[in-house]
C-alpha cells in the first residue's frame, strides 16, 4: 500500500482569461509537474476531495461533507461532463468506516459535481474517467462551516481507511481548491429574493442560456479584478504561504485554531476551499511521514485566485 497527494487550485477561468504569458507558462509548468508525477506513480484509485459552487449542493440540504456512491460532472466552464467511474461498494465501505470513527457522513447516490471537483482530474489525465475515483464533497462556499479540526479528522479517517483497507493498492488523493479568493459567488445572507431561491435549489440544472449568463458574470468579474477594479476582496498571499508552510510541516494542529469567520475576513469567502487541501494532507499524514516534493504558488488576479499546486509523497 502507498498513498501520494496532489493539491491544486482550480479555476473556472483557465480558458476564458489571459494572464501574462509568463504567468500562464508557470502554471503550465506546475500542471506538467503534477502530470509527470501521477504518470510515474500510476495509482490504482483516486480519492478526490473537492468543493461545489451551488451546482450540485444547495441550501435545501447543505452537508459539511458527503461521499458520492455515483457521481456526474455537469460540465460547467467547458469542463468535461458525464459520469465518473465510482466504485460504489468501496464508497460504501469508506462511509461505514468513517461513521464508526464518529464522522457523521452524508452520502449521495447521485452526486452532481462541477469544475471544482473534476478540473484537476481533467488537467492531469485529460479524462475524468481515466481512473476509478471516490468523490468526496466538502462544503467550502456555504456558511455555516464546520470547524477545521473536523476537516482534519475527516482526512485522518480517510487516511486510516486507506491504510487498513487498501493495503494492496496505490492511491492518489487529490485536494482541489483554494487558496485565498473571493469570486462572485452569492452569499445567502445578502442574497436578493431571486438569488436566494437559486441558492435554495432553484439554480439546479440551469438552461444553457442561464448557465452561459452565470459564467459570463464570473468572467467579467475576473477581467475587472485583473484591471484593478475593486469588485472582490484582494488576494492574501501571506495567508496562502502560511497555510502551505504549515501543511508541509506534517503538523496540522495549528490550523485547528483558525476560525471560519477569520478565514473569510482575511482570505475571502471562497478561501474555505483550502479545506480540501487540509483533509488531503491529514490523510497522508496518518499513513506516514511525508515530504512535499513540489510546490508552486503565485497570486493570479486574472484567475481571482491565490494559485497553488503541491505534490507530496511518503518518506
Of 179, 181, 177, the residue nearest 276 (C-alpha):
177
* Catalytic residue status for 10: no
- Residues 165 and 149: their CA atoms lie apart, in Å, by 24
Q: Which of 115, 165, 205, 272 is catalytic?
A: 115
How many alpha carbons fall within 13 Å on the CB side of residue 95?
20
CA distances from 288 to 33, 155, 255 (A): 23, 13, 19
**304 torsion bin: left (phi>0), alpha (psi -120 to 50), beta (else):** left
Residues sharing a CB contact under 8 Å with residue 29, sequence separation 6 or more, in sequence order? 296
* Catalytic residue status for 181: yes
- Residues 255 and 284: their CA atoms lie apart, in Å, by 16
Q: Name the grid cell of 56.
A: 450540485
Q: Which of 10, 181, 205, 272 is catalytic?
A: 181
Residues that are catalytic: 115, 181
Amino acid at each position: 500500500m502507498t498513498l501520494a497527494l496532489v493539491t491544486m487550485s482550480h479555476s473556472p477561468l483557465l480558458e476564458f482569461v489571459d494572464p501574462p504569458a509568463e504567468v500562464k507558462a508557470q502554471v503550465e509548468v506546475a500542471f506538467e509537474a503534477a502530470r509527470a508525477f501521477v504518470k510515474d506513480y500510476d495509482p490504482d484509485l483516486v480519492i478526490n476531495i473537492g468543493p461545489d459552487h451551488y451546482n450540485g449542493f444547495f441550501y435545501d440540504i447543505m452537508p459539511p461533507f458527503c461521499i458520492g456512491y455515483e457521481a456526474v460532472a455537469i460540465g460547467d466552464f467547458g469542463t468535461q461532463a458525464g459520469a465518473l467511474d465510482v466504485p460504489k461498494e468501496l464508497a460504501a465501505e469508506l462511509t461505514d468506516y468513517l461513521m464508526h470513527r464518529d464522522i457523521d457522513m452524508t452520502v449521495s447516490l447521485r452526486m452532481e459535481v462541477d469544475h471544482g471537483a473534476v478540473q484537476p482530474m481533467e488537467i492531469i489525465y485529460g479524462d475524468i474517467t481515466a481512473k476509478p475515483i471516490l468523490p468526496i464533497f466538502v462544503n467550502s462556499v456555504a456558511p455555516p462551516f464546520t470547524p477545521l479540526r473536523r476537516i482534519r479528522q475527516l482526512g485522518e479517517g480517510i487516511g486510516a481507511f486507506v491504510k487498513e483497507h487498501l493495503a494492496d493498492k496505490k492511491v492518489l488523493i487529490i485536494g482541489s481548491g483554494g487558496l485565498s479568493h473571493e469570486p462572485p459567488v452569492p452569499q445567502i445572507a445578502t442574497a436578493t429574493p431571486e438569488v436566494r431561491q437559486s441558492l435554495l435549489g432553484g439554480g439546479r440544472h440551469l438552461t444553457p442560456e442561464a448557465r452561459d449568463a452565470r459564467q459570463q458574470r464570473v468572467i467579467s468579474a475576473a477581467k475587472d479584478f485583473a484591471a484593478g477594479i475593486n469588485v472582490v476582496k484582494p488576494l492574501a498571499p501571506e495567508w496562502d504561504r502560511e497555510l502551505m508552510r504549515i501543511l508541509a510541516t506534517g503538523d496540522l494542529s495549528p490550523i485547528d485554531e483558525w476560525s471560519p469567520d477569520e478565514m473569510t475576513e482575511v482570505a475571502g469567502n471562497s478561501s474555505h476551499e483550502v479545506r480540501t487541501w487540509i483533509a488531503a494532507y491529514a490523510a497522508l499524514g496518518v499513513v506516514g511521514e511525508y515530504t512535499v516534493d513540489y510546490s508552486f504558488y503565485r497570486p493570479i488576479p486574472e484567475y481571482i485566485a491565490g494559485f497553488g499546486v503541491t505534490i507530496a509523497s511518503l518518506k
